[in-house]
Amino acid sequence: MTTNQDHKPRFGILAVQMGFITGDQLKEALVEQVDDDLLNRKYRVLGTILYDKGWMTMRQVETVLDRLLKITQNEKGHP
């Protein structure tokens, strides 16, 4: 069993926490990502879907990715 401390942050959750999107927008983007897969459409990462829908700017996507990178580096003991 995992705990919240074991759970790695995800792009969508961070985007909501940072105030860039709403929880409902995240849910809709996740559904679209699954629909793309089920319909054999080209895979798109969540940031691309949110950008394509006009819900996030490219700068906001980059900000979330930068935060994810910093969290990952900190977990691995990098400064």
Could you report the per-residue pLDDT of 19-60, keeping only the tens digit for each?
999 999 999 999 999 999 999 999 999 999 999 999 999 999
Predicted local confidence at residue 40, as pLDDT: 96
Predicted local confidence at residue 73, as pLDDT: 85
Q: Give the three-class secondary structure for 8.
A: coil
| pLDDT of 70 higher than 70 | yes
Residues 6+ apart with CB under 8 A from 9: 68, 71
**Cα–Cα dist 70/43, whole Å:** 25
Going by pLDDT thresholds of 50, 70 and 90, the confidence category of residue 77 is: confident
State the pTM of this model.
0.81
Whole-number Cα distances in Å, 47 to 35, 55, 79: 16, 10, 26
